[in-house]
Structure 1
Amino acid sequence: MQIDSPSITALRVAVRRAAHQVLDHPRIFDDPLALRVLGLDADAGHGRSWLDDTPLDRVLRTALALRSRHAEDTLQEARLRGIDQYVVLGAGLDTFACRHAAVGSDNLRVFEVDHPATQEWKRQRLHLAGIAVPEHCTFVPADFERQTLAEGLRLAGFDPARPAFFSWLGVVMYLTADAIDATLRTVAVLPAGSGIVFDYVIDPELMSPLARTALNGLAVRVAAAGEPLRSFFVPARLADHLRQLGFGRIKDLSPEALDARYFRNRADGLRAGRLAHFMTAWV
């Protein structure tokens, strides 16, 4: 991304998440603030570009809605384990903290970690939409390639002596191997019960020819936005690496597994994209 500018990718993600609220029924992911934070009006929006419904648009918005749904489902598992610290890495225009303002009453602290320019842009968007940042949400300005995540969280009031849950969506594929490992190590040394969920792009050698073509197209678009793809993984090797870092329980979900969990019996043909897996790792 550009150093002094908000992430273009974060904006595109937010727009597609908003389009999902209007175009897809039943929704995979329900976000009543998705349109407000962008200043969009569903009733006045039909025929506008943000509601394009090409096959590519359907695939992209479905993938983005799916990853938010899965992350929040997994967060609820963590909450049942008693975890009261939630860290959203690369938060962009994620609205979880604002949608769940009442969670402050049961002591859940939310830490949103992102580039300072993106966070300032988000504050502006929330202000214009009349959406308050709840007291239980703390913005943590950070650059995964240049700053220490643990130090940034500590300064923001995060307690490393208590377990925490992390979501890391749409970020890993843009980082170097060293930056990815630095973040994973930060989570791996937290108390037992801590966990992280993230999506990652599989090694192109494991993809079908059609999926590789789709990946090439995606790579061109994000590179043009200044955010090139950098990292790809073989699922079994990634799972082994996570165990070496200190994670004890690993769960990898393929597109087929995600289809079975979230898209069964849909009449509109929506399904998980074929480029990425979801990984959850618990300490």
Structure 2
Amino acid sequence: MKADKTSRTAQYMAFFRALETRQRERLFADPYAIHFLDSKLRIVTHLSQFSLIAKYIFNTINKKIPGALSSGIARTKYIDSLLEKAVSNGVEQVIILGAGFDTRAVRLNFLQSIPVIEIDHPNTSNFKAEIYKNRIGQIPENVKFLQIDFNKQNLDQLALEHNLDFSKPTAVIWEGVTNYLTEEAVKSTFVFISKFAANSHIIFTYVHKDILINPESFLGGKKLLEDLEKIEEHWTFGFLPEELPSYLNKFQIRLLEDLGANEYRKRFLPKRSEKGYEFYRTAIGIKE
């Protein structure tokens, strides 16, 4: 990410959620997402309420980044459902690492009485706080913004400075982040997560390691990586799915589920036929 800008990919995810919100049959509603878009994307979102224009928009996105839109929408709903289940199973606080323009703290009713701590790069965090204050009204009282550069700063120090409570069962959401980090940064973050109480849940995304080694083995993979390089948001890290359970075990985390884009797309969008983005995966583990 460019040092003086917010994440462009965070804005694209907000764009996808805003488009979904405009559909008559939708997986979820996110009335806040549109506030994070630039003027061009806002206009496109408003126009998407017309079915013919919506079809053109969806086809254009799918041609440019095969599977990204349907994958992103299905993944949002999947993580929402995993988080709701974690809260119903006793989670007492939520921490969102690399929060981007995630609006779960304000759009999910079951989080209104639970502390939500969002941790992100200062550029994105400050921009998001201003959007909440200027266009939504205010930052909810149960929501706190903390700032960090994951590749340069220490989460333990951040936790000490802000008195994070490790004794509470916690749901940690880590969406769209691991693929931008170094191997050491990923490891140190899992060490940090492992310090939370038993029954804490970690919900995170990652990319299949093969996309970094042989991008042409996935539909649209080569072009996607080239486009990310152009906006200086290149991917640097991935897991092999078969190695994930043993990796998490090192941190006393048991893998509960690990789905690729095709699988969570089939679960939540069974009538959609889009292909692509199969390398993007979502996993949930529990601290034992």
User: CA–CA distance in 1 between the matches of 2:222 and 2:276?
Assistant: 18
- Which residue of 1 is the match for residue 273 of structure 2? 269
For structure 2, which runs of at least 5 residues remain unmatched after alignment? none
Report the secondary structure of 2:59's partner residue. Answer: coil
- Which residue of 2 is the match for residue 8 of structure 1? 8
- Which residue of 2 is the match for residue 282 of structure 1? 286
**Displacement of 1:12 after TM fit?**
2.1
User: CA–CA distance in 2 between the matches of 1:156 and 1:30?
Assistant: 32
For structure 1, which runs of at least 5 residues remain unmatched after alignment? none
1-10 vs 85-94, greater mean Cα deviation: 1-10
**Displacement of 1:157 after TM fit?**
4.2
User: CA–CA distance in 1 between the matches of 2:100 and 2:187?
Assistant: 21
- Residues 239 and 25 of structure 1, relative CA distance in 2, 3 Å threshold: farther
**Displacement of 1:144 after TM fit?**
0.7
26-35 vs 137-146, greater mean Cα deviation: 26-35
- Residues 239 and 180 of structure 1, relative CA distance in 2, 3 Å threshold: same
- Residues 5 and 244 of structure 1, relative CA distance in 2, 3 Å threshold: same
**Displacement of 1:25 after TM fit?**
5.4
Match of 2:85 among 69, 72, 77: 77
- Which residue of 1 is the match for residue 94 of structure 2? 86
- Which residue of 2 is the match for residue 115 of structure 1? 121
143-152 vs 227-236, greater mean Cα deviation: 143-152
- Judge conservation of contact 1:263–1:270 (CA < 8 Å) in 2: no
* Total equivalences in the alignment: 277
- Residues 193 and 272 of structure 1, relative CA distance in 2, 3 Å threshold: farther
Report the secondary structure of 1:77's partner residue. Answer: helix
1:1-283 equivalences under 5 Å are 1-22=1-22, 26-38=25-37, 40=42, 42-44=45-47, 51=57, 53-54=59-60, 55-56=62-63, 59-100=67-108, 103-104=111-112, 106=113, 108-204=114-210, 211-264=217-270, 266=271, 268-270=272-274, 273-283=277-287
- Residues 259 and 117 of structure 1, relative CA distance in 2, 3 Å threshold: closer
**Displacement of 1:137 after TM fit?**
0.3
With structure 2 as the length reference, what TM-score do the two structures score?
0.85
**Displacement of 1:203 after TM fit?**
2.5
- Judge conservation of contact 2:99–2:120 (CA < 8 Å) in 1: yes
Q: Percent identity?
A: 25
- Residues 12 and 244 of structure 1, relative CA distance in 2, 3 Å threshold: same
199-208 vs 249-258, greater mean Cα deviation: 199-208
Report the secondary structure of 2:96's partner residue. Answer: strand
**Displacement of 1:165 after TM fit?**
0.7
- Residues 272 and 111 of structure 1, relative CA distance in 2, 3 Å threshold: farther
With structure 1 as the length reference, what TM-score do the two structures score?
0.86
Report the secondary structure of 2:203's partner residue. Answer: strand
**Displacement of 1:145 after TM fit?**
0.7
